[in-house]
Structure 1
Amino acid sequence: MRVLQGITGAVVVLGIFSSVLRTLVIPRPTRSGFTQIVHGLVRRPFQLVADRLPEAESKDRVLAPVAPLAIVVTLMGWLACFMVGYALLEAAVSRLPFQDAMVESGSSLFTLGFASGSRVTLNVIDFCAAATGPVVIGLQIGYLPTLYAAYQRRETEVTLLQSRAGSPPWGPEILARYAQVELLHSLTELFRNWERWSAEVSESHTTYPVLIHFRSPKANRNWLIALLAVMDAAALRLAFNPSHPKAEVRLALRAGFVCLRDIADLRGIPYDRDPHPDDPIELTYEDFLHGVARMADQGYPMERTPEEAWPHFRGWRINYEQLAYWLARDIDAVPAPWSGPRRTTVAVRTPVTPVDRRPVG
């Protein structure tokens, strides 16, 4: 029995140490089963409530605390598991009942010292437990500034996009607004910025997966919908304007769907790595024409007709549509045109962006 307790305790302690290292220390995409389970359990009751609410704003208010709460619960789960693991080890190397071993373990883990005794056989385990508690808490405290710095960098660009793409953002709206204010020459800068943004999000959201579920400060903003809008704008630009510079547009588009694929690889989402340009997409030609009409209303110049541009646009969108729709449903992103259905709502076809008007005279 004591041998079994010792083996179980060692497995628990080493397994939780592995989870801590994978989550807080190792600077590369790694999956921790423990944190995934905790985050899923924390999110489930909030998601059940959100699924029963009709308004996107109400859903956002319910889901906003999930990711920060999951971080706190994960820390508490780590400490609780360490306490149980060290208690099993102490019960194995001494004749303490498990209840007394839990008191000894908790006293050492949280450096309280009230249960310390003269048992020489427990000194090493007590010292390890006493070091574990502060180290794990210190790592978590040091982890938070890095996490929130990545979140703030992500949201800065999303917020800047609001005046350029509407709220929530929409790909055709980006081109329409740039045409409206006669700034189409500045699109290169926009795509260059979002190429870098995609690279940063790919790195931060695979290293710290909890960021995927961090929601924007405003209910009508979302990092994934913003990225999808920029990618759609890039695909439309390539489809309708083949004579214009393509380098920055194509790089931004590729960086965007590479970002989505990196996140999908981390989460174990299957997808076609080499889709054929003629494969079907979920966006209908009717919805495509609706977006093109918005661009035409604001004077966006088009070198191809919609019929000629549609195959080119579809050939680009096939690279990212499936993953974008899956992730938008998974995180319950704000409903927006061309972004697919959500968990409890159908796809949005009518643009919800306001119409800016130029001064007359």
Structure 2
Amino acid sequence: MSISLRVGSGLMGLLLIYAAMRSALITFVLPRSAPETISRFWFRLLRRLFDWRVHHAKEYRTRDRIMAIYAPLALLSLLPLWLLIVTVGFAGLYWATGIASQRDDLILSGSSLLTLGFARGETLVHDLLAFAEATLGLILVAVLIAYLPTMYGAFARRESAVSRLAVRANTPPSALEFIHRAHRIGGLENLDDFWQEWEIWF
């Protein structure tokens, strides 16, 4: 097999692994906004699927029930996506370092990532790569588990705020209805705290 193909496979594998780990760190660890391709693509893809499903729902309650699971599902499904990318990336590294069969590359990569241990490499280099892959897999899982309480708390606070908003803006909430009700009771000038509270979510 051409050396250039193996080198290219190794470089592509490293690029995929780097992209997956960078995506995980930016999404769950970095405390500021930063451009990130994988998560943005995944969120937009799932949003299109949800929009298509909502388009066929006639009642507001049905649409609300469908969209309520969009954000949690999008975040939780990132982990399998990252694991898949890392698996393919390390499979490229295994192929670049001498394992000829692409099927064996994927089996070894999946076994190493999930720490199953039913597949072994042929050389010390393969074993070292397997150790590195298992470590990255555990890191990805640990990051998501550590983030779950924060994610749940954020969603719970937002749902509580939305429920309170229904009293002022009807159900489903309407900006025009909210302003109309505030004007009717003479409370437009007392909404500064309300705007500041909702600015957090935007």
Q: TM-score range by the shorter chain?
A: 0.7 to 0.9
Q: Distance in 1 between matches of 2:97 and 2:42?
A: 31
Identify the residue that residue 192 of structure 1 maps to in structure 2.
193
Match of 1:82 in 2: 86
What are the ranges of 5 or more consecutive residues in structure 1 without an aligned counterpart? 203-361
How much has 1:199 moved relative to structure 2? Answer: 4.5
Displacement of 1:58 = 2.6
1:136 Cα shift? 0.4
Residues of 1 paired with 2:168 and 2:54: CA distance? 29
How far has the Cα of 1:126 moved from its partner?
Answer: 0.9
Residue 201 in structure 1 maps to residue 193 in structure 2: no
Letter in 2 for 1:200: I
For residue 137 of structure 1, what is the amino acid of its counterpart?
Answer: V
CA drift of 1:21 comes to 1.3
Aligned partners of 2:113 and 2:134 also within 8 Å: yes
Provide the aligned length of Structure 1 versus Structure 2: 194
Match of 1:14 in 2: 18
Q: For residue 44 of structure 1, what is the aligned residue in structure 2?
A: 48
Alignment partner of 1:31 is 2:35: yes
Q: Quick check: 1:94–1:121 contact (8 Å CA) kept in 2?
A: no
2:134 counterpart (130, 135, 159): 130
Equivalent position to 1:55, from 59, 62, 84: 59
2:118 paired residue number: 114
TM-score, normalization by structure 1: 0.49
Greater relative contact order: 1 or 2 (C-alpha under 8 angstroms, separation 6 or more)? 2
2: CA distance, partners of 1:141 / 1:86: 23
| Residue pair 2:120, 2:127 contacting (<8 A) in 1 also | no
Equivalent residue in structure 1 for 2:75, among 71, 76, 79: 71
The structure carrying a bigger helix percent of its residues is 2
SS at match of 2:201: helix
Read off the aligned partner of 2:183 and give its amino acid letter.
L
- What fraction of aligned residue pairs are identical, expressed as a percent? 32
2:182 corresponds to: 174
Residue-by-residue CA offset, 1:260-300 (whole Å, 9 max, x unaligned): xxxxxxxxxxxxxxxxxxxxxxxxxxxxxxxxxxxxxxxxx
Q: Which moved more, 1:126-135 or 1:113-122?
A: 113-122
Aligned to 1:127, the other structure's residue is in SS state helix
CA change 1:17–1:91 in 2 (3 A) is: same
Measured after TM superposition, the shift of residue 117 of structure 1 is 4.4
Shift of the 63–155 alpha-carbon distance from structure 1 to 2, 3 Å rule, reads closer
Alpha carbons of structure 1 residues 4 and 128: separation in structure 2 relative to 1, 3 Å? same
Contact 2:24-2:140 at 8 Å conserved across structures: yes
RMSD of Structure 2 on Structure 1 (CA): 2.2
- Match of residue 99, structure 1, among 89, 103, 107: 103
Runs of 5+ consecutive residues of structure 2 not aligned to the other structure: none
Alpha-carbon distance between aligned partners in 1 of 2:103 and 2:58, rounded to the nearest angstrom: 48
Distance in structure 2 (CA, Å) of the matches to 1:129 and 1:145: 26
C-alpha offsets along residues 142-161 of structure 1, whole Å, 9 cap, x if unaligned?
Answer: 22221222222233333233
Give the 3 Å change call, closer, same or farther, for CA 61–198 of structure 1 in structure 2.
closer
Q: 1:166, 1:173 within 8 Å by CA — same for their partners in 2?
A: no
How far apart, CA to CA, are the structure 2 residues paired with 1:119 and 1:158?
Answer: 57
Helix, strand or coil: the match of 1:201?
Answer: coil
Q: Distance in 1 between matches of 2:194 and 2:44?
A: 33
CA positional deviation for 1:193: 4.5
Measured in 2, the distance between the counterparts of 1:50 and 1:100 equals: 42
Distance 2:201 2:47 in 1: 22
Residue 70 of structure 1: how far off its partner (Å): 1.7
CA contact (8 A) 1:165 1:174 kept: no
